[in-house]
Each structure stands twice: as C-alpha cells, then as structure tokens.
Amino acid sequence: MNAETPFTTPEDVGFDTSKLSNITNYFGTYVEKGKLAGVSTLVARGGKIAHFETVGERDRENSLPMEKDTIFRIYSMSKPITSVALMMLYERGLFQLSHEVHRYIPSFKKLQVWDGGTFDDYKTKPCERAMTIRDLLTHTSGLTYGFMHVHPVDKVYRKSGIEGAATANGMNLEEFCDALADIPLLFSPGTQWSYSVATDVCGRLVEVLSGQPLDTFLQENIFDPLGMVDTGFMVPADKLKRFSANYEKDPKTKEVRLFDPGSDKSTYATPKPFFSGGGGLTSTMTDYWRFCQMFLNGGELDGVRILSPKTVDYMTLNHLPDGKTLPEMDQSAFSETGSEGTGFGLGFSVILDPAETQTVNSEGSHAWGGAASTLFWIDPQEDMVCILMTQLMPSRAYPLRPQMQQLVYGALVD
C-alpha cells in the first residue's frame, strides 16, 4: 500500500459510520451466495479515506483472501488514465482537439463508413468529415468493439483480431491502428456515440506525439509521479502473489467460474507488445484512488501537478454535439455506466441531470467502469472519490454499481 495514503474516521468527513459499514455487509451477501469471490470498496472525502474494506477471496480456488493491496484487472478504467496522458501532451501544445487523426496516424486517411451488406461482402461510403482527436476521446469516432455482436462490423473486428485489450496476433499499437484503418466505421465521425477501441487509438497518439512507448510514457509521467506503485500492463513475478483471479458468470448455468487465474498462468503474467490504453492496465485500490484524487484536486496530488485545473474542468464538460445526452446519440450495445441523464467528456461519463439517472448522485460527477465489474466515480460537489473493485465478467452480471452509489450516498449526513 502507498505509504502516504491518508485515513480518517467517517464522522470527520460527514458520514454515518454504521451506514457506511453497510457497504461491506451488503456486498458480503454476494460473496456468501457465491455470486462474487470477493469485493473491495473505498470511499474518500476531502482527500482522506473514510472507508476501505474488503470481503471474500481474491482467489477462490486457493482460498486466498481479498486484501487491501490486491492487484486487479481494471480493464476500461484504463481509459481515463490514457485520456489524461493524451491531454498532458495537449497542454504541451503538441496537437489540437480539432486535428484530424490522420495527421498523426496516416493510415486513417483512408477511413470509410459502412454502407450495407454482410461482414464478408459489404459496401462503404466516404466519411462526411475526417475523424478528429476529440471524436476519439468522446467515443463519437465511428469505431466499435468486436464483443458487441450486434453489427456486421463487430464481426469484421473479431475476424481481424481487433479485440481491444484481448487483441492478439502479436500486434503493437501501430500495427493495430493500421489494421483498424481497413475496417469500415459504423457511422460518420461526430454523428453518433458508440463505445469502442477509440482509447486504444488515443494510446497510439500518445506514442506518436511523445516519441515513447505508451507503457513508458505512463510510467514516467503518471504512475511514478503519483506514487502508483502497482499499476502497469503486466503483473511482475514478485507481485503475482497479490494478483486476483478473474471470474465469469456462465450465461447458461448462471454459475460463477474461473476466467483467468491470479498466477503465472494469467495472460497478465507475461509482457506483450500491445499496450491497450483502453483496457489493458492492472492496479490496486490505493493506486487508483491516487489517480482519482489527483483529478478531483484539479490535476495535482501531494505537490505533483499532472494537469492544470482548467484542463480538468474542460475534460469533465459534456462534449457531445449540441449538448446531447448518451441516449440521444448512442448506437452502442454497451456502456460501462448508465446513460440516462448522462453526457460524455474527454474520457469520462458526466452526469448532466441526476433525476434522469434514477440514482442519487450529483450533477457534474464523472465516472467509468471496467469489464470485470469495477467502478469509480468522482463527485466534485461532495469532494468525494468512490471505488469498487471485484473481478467478475460481464460487468452487467449484477447491479453492483448503482447499489454502491445507493449505499455511499445513503451514508452521507453532512
């Protein structure tokens, strides 16, 4: 655990201790019923951690307990980190958000849009305009994910080995983007919203603009400065003893079974050439809290500045065209957070109308989750960071995220 992690009592930051303890009890019932192997939850307010508890096991097969320094696959909670990295380069004047992506990834100049047919016999048409960097950051690029299974283009992704964090074929980010450029977009950039591999493309932009591999840039500019000592694209051998196993809920039997072990047999135990900025990182509760707290602080933590406050404010505006919400633009089969009353910033979902979300929260809260049912949200109005980590796929297996919000806000008394 990070040496400088500050703790406080719930009462000192406006929580009811007994109600906050309900979080552990509540998710403990999931563990008791065999729905989850283990859960870790964290609530911080005013820069201090008021609740940090674990329940259950990180490795059910080997009876290893969930602990506070357990390492998790954070999957799409990698996206805000990569988005911050790209905006650090924006602050250096290296690009404009309105710049066409093909300025930096030349193969993207040939992008076309799907115009009917089947996955192996389709037509295309020209884009109405070129894809911009802001399109990537807001998921309005026209890209998609192969796991959606709702559009013929999704199948083209799968056949091409374009699978986000699970991308195979020994590709690096440059090769990934060049392969992606040969596949049609779902729609013309800027016209709709679809969750996608766009943040992996942002990772390639970080490489091109910085002249460094993505893993090196993140380590030198975010992880080391923030003291994120356990975050990276693989779990080193000396840390595997803290790595959680990952589970999946069988869609037919509803049983929870092992998906990826927390051992040297894991796909995260060996280095790979593909650094998925959209979903490839592993991290711990305190590491990710440090990242979130930096963002909540306006880009600074413990005297280390990552972004300017103005950039942070800008990233958490709703950047969807004409101020639209996700439901007004969404052509995706999937999102890691709810969409009603929600817009999208530069790497985060953003609450626009709390009443429309039908969950207690605050206007301006920004959030995202990961494929293994992880979640974070940052609530500037309440000066609060909340994180839930478990390892269960798919992320919609249970309503863990809205339940976590109910429990946290229900414990807030001041």
Residue 183 belongs to domain with CATH number: 3.40.710.10
pLDDT at residue 334, rounded to an integer = 66
Residues 251 and 383 in one domain: yes
pLDDT of 282 above 90: yes
Q: Are 186 and 108 members of one domain? A: yes
> What integer pLDDT is reported at residue 332 of this predicted model?
65
Band the pLDDT of 89: cuts 50, 70, 90: very high
- Considering the chain, what is the average pLDDT of its residues? 95
- What is the span of the domain harbouring residue 30? 10-77+228-410
* Average pLDDT of the segment spanning 383-412: 97
Determine, yes or no, domain membership for 197.
yes
CA–CA separation, 318 and 193 (whole Å) = 13
Backbone angles phi, psi at 162, to 5 degrees: -90, 95
**What integer pLDDT is reported at residue 200 of this predicted model?**
97
Residues 178 and 242 in one domain: no
The reply to whether 386 falls in a domain is: yes
Beta carbons of 64 and 57 less than 8 angstroms apart: yes
Residue 222's closest CA among 242, 206, 199? 206
Residue 159 CA to residue 142 CA, distance in Å, equals 18
Give the pLDDT band (50/70/90) at residue 131. Answer: very high
Backbone φ and ψ for 327, nearest 5 degrees, come out as: -60, -25
Residues 49 and 138 in one domain: no
Res. 169: pLDDT tops 80:
no
Stated as kind and residue range, the H or E segment containing 356 is helix 354-357
Domain membership of residue 220 (yes or no) is no
Evaluate whether residue 3 is within a structural domain.
no
Residues 179 and 325 in one domain: no
**Structural contact between residues 377 and 386, judged by C-beta atoms closer than 8 angstroms:** yes
Is 0.95 topped by the overall pTM?
yes
Q: Are residues 60 and 191 located together in one domain of the fold?
A: no
Residue 219 lies in a domain: no
Assess if residue 1 is contained within a domain: no
- Does residue 155 carry a pLDDT above 90? yes
- Evaluate whether 188 touches 194 at the Cβ level (below 8 Å): no
The reply to whether 39 falls in a domain is: yes
Average pLDDT over residues 398-409: 97
Phi-psi map region of 137: left, alpha, beta (phi>0 left; psi -120 to 50 alpha): alpha
Mean pLDDT of the region 6-34: 97
Q: pLDDT class for 339, splitting at 50, 70, 90?
A: confident
